Amino acid sequence: MNYFLTGGTGFIGRFLVEKLLARGGTVHVLVREQSQDKLDKLRERWGADETQVKAVIGDLTSKNLGIDAKTMKALKGKIDHFFHLAAVYDMGADEEAQQATNIEGTRAAVNAAEAMGAKHFHHVSSIAAAGLFKGIFREDMFEEAEKLDHPYLRTKHESEKVVREECKVPFRIYRPGMVIGHTSTGEMDKVDGPYYFFKMIQKIRHALPQWVPTIGVEGGRLNIVPVDFVVNAMDHIAHLEGEDGKCFHLVDTDPYKVGEILNIFSEAGHAPRMGMRIDSRMFGFIPPFIRQSLKNLPPVKRLTSAILDDMGIPPSVMSFINYPTRFDARETERVLKGTGIEVPRLPDYAPVIWDYWERNLDPDLFKDRTLKGTVEGRVCVVTGATSGIGLATAQKLADAGAILVIGARKLERLKEVAAELESRGASVHAYPCDFSDMDACDEFVKTVLDNHGQVDVLVNNAGRSIRRSLDLSFDRFHDFERTMQLNYFGSVRLIMGFAPKMLENRRGHVVNISSIGVLTNAPRFSAYVASKSALDAFSRCAASEWSDRNVTFTTINMPLVKTPMIAPTKIYDSVPTLTPDEAATMVADAIVYRPKRIATRLGIFAQVLHALAPKMAEIVMNTGYRMFPDSPAAAGSRSGEKPKVSSEQVAFAAIMRGIYW
C-alpha cells in the first residue's frame, strides 16, 4: 500500500510511520525543504531507505500543500491512505498560527488528497473539538460542542468541520485525548498537558520530604492516553473495511481527576502526595461575578501570574483544571474488541513518563545554570574581597568572566589580590574603601558607576563580628555602634547607591552575607546578629517594593566559616567549619539561582523551632552558651594560649555543626 502523511516527522507521526512500514507499505511524507535532514535521521530510526520513505517537498499553509505539479501527477491515483496529522498541538501558541495551521492547513490537505485521488482520508482531530462541553460527548456529536473561546479548541473544531463539509474523499476522523509519552520508553517531544505540572511536583519534592502530605485540588477528569495506544488504534481502524464517515474517540473511558493525576505523578517522581484535595465546586455558592472580580484584582493577578511563570505553566492551562467533558467511545471499543489494543492504566506507566521528562524535557536542562553563563561580561561588585569568603567569591567570579569590581580597606593587599586575579585572565578593578565610612561608600559608588556605568551583582560581604557576652559588654556600647556601622549602614549605603541604575535597567541582584546566628539567635553575638538582622529586614522590605522591577535580593545565613574573622576565637580551631571555597560556592549558587534565602537545614530548623517552641529553642542555645566560655580577649586578657576543648564541647559542636557559640 501507498501512504501519504502530513506531520509524519511529528510526535504521533513518527510512531505511525513505523507501523505503516511494518505493513510493507511505501510512505510519502510531506516535509519542508529545510527539514529534509530531520527526515533523514528518522529514516535511520525506522531502518528505512529513500524507496520506503519518500520525501515530498511542500508546505502545510500553501495551496495543495505546496506540492509541485510534477510530483502531484506522479502521486495521482497511487495513494491508498492519506493521513493528516500536522497541526499546532500547543495551548500556548498564538491564535494566528493556530488559525493558519489547523484550519487552512486542513483545507489544503483535503484539497491535496482530492487532487492526488487518494482512496481514504484520515483526519487526526482532538477531543478539543468538543470545546468545554458539559456532560458526555459521543462520537456522533459535533455541532453540540460549546464554549470554544480558546483558540486551540476553536481551531480544532473548525478544522474538523472542514473535513466534514468539504472533503470529497471517503474520510475517517480520530479524536485522541491528551497524548503523552510512550508506555515503554516514556518518549515525548515537548512539554504539554499534564507535563506542565511536573515542574511544580519537582519543586515540592525538593522542598518537602516524600512522607509529608500536602493540600491540592480535585479538579475535573483529564483524558490522558499514551502515544502507542493512539497509533496502534489508528493503524488498526484505518485498515478496516466499511468504517468511512465515522468518528472514533481514542480516549480513556475511565479517566482520572486532576488531583489523582498529580498524585500518580507525585508518586512516580518521589514527591509528597496531596493528602487533602479541595473540590472547587464547594465554592459554587459564591456568585460568578464575585469570583471573577476577585480573580481580576491586580494583586491576585500578579501573584497568580508570578506563581504560574515560576512553575512554567501557561495561564490558559488553568482553565482546564475543572474540565467538564466525558467522552463516550463505543465505536472505538467496537472496532478494537478482541485486538488487545486498549488504554493502559496511568499508574502502570507513569514512572517511565516521569523519568523521560526529568532526563530529557525538564526546562532546567536547557538553561545555562553555570556561573559563567550568569555573570560573564556583567559588572559584579564584591566588598571585603581580600580575604576569606570575599576572596574566594572574587576568584570564582573572575574565573567565570565577570567584570569584577573589588573593594577593601587595605590598599596594598587590594593591589596584591587584583594582580593575582588578573593573572588568571580576569577583568579586575580594585578600589580601596572603608565601608564603615559613609562618605567613602558614596565615593566608591560614584567611582564604580562613572567607570562601569552600572552594577549587575552586588555582594555585601564586608563585615565585622564581635563575640562577647552581654555580661562583658555593659561598658562597650561602641561594639553595637561599629557592627551596625559596617554590617548594616555600609551595606545599605551601597544598595541605595547602586539601586537607581539597577531599577532603570530593570536588572540587578544583591547578595547579602548574613549569619546563621540570625536564625539561631546566637548568644555572645548580640551586636553582630542585630546588625545582620537589620540588613535582612531592610532587604525583605526593599524586595517587596522592587519585586516587579527585576531587582532581587538573596540572604545567605552563612554557617561558621574558617576565615580571619573568627581567628581570634581559638576554640573555633576545634569545631567543624566550612572552608572559604565552600562558602563561595553558596554565594555562586545565590547569584545563579537567585533564591530568597540560602541556609543550612539546621539553621532553618532552629528558626522553625524558635517560632513554634521559643522556650525550648532558648534552652538549647543557653546550654551552648554555658558550655562554651568567652575568649580571653573578650574577657580582657591578652593571653594567646589555646583553650582546652572537652569531648562534650566537641560532640555538642558536631551536632550543632556551623552554629556560632
Grid coordinates of 532? 545582620
Q: How far apart are CA 421 and CA 429, in angstroms?
A: 10
Is 528 marked active-site?
A: yes
Strand partners, 561: 578
**8 Å CB contact between 382 and 459:** yes
Secondary structure in 3-state letters for 468-515: CCHHHCCCCHHHHHHHHHHHHHHHHHHHHHHHHHHHHHCCEEEEEEEE
Give the 3-state secondary structure of residue 237. helix
Strand partners, 382: 406, 459
* C-beta neighbour count of 443 within 10 angstroms: 14
Q: How far apart are CA 285 and CA 159, in angstroms?
A: 38
Q: How far apart are CA 538 and CA 490, in angstroms?
A: 13
Q: Residue 226's closest CA among 12, 8, 9, 13?
A: 12
Residue at 546: amino acid letter: W
The owner of cell 498529580 is 262
List, in order, residues 6 or more apart from 560 with CB less than 8 Å away: 516, 566, 572, 575, 576, 577, 578, 658, 659, 660
List, in order, residues 6 or more apart from 378 with CB less than 8 Å away: 402, 403, 456, 457
Q: How far apart are CA 307 and CA 258, in angstroms?
A: 19
Q: Residue 551's closest CA among 491, 601, 494, 511?
A: 511
Please tell me which residue in 195, 256, 488, 528 is annotated as part of the active site. 528
Largest CA distance in the chain: 104
Instruction: Tell me phi and psi for residue 514, to 5 degrees.
Output: -100, -155
Q: Residue 172's closest CA among 236, 88, 103, 253?
A: 236
User: Active-site residue numbers?
Assistant: 528
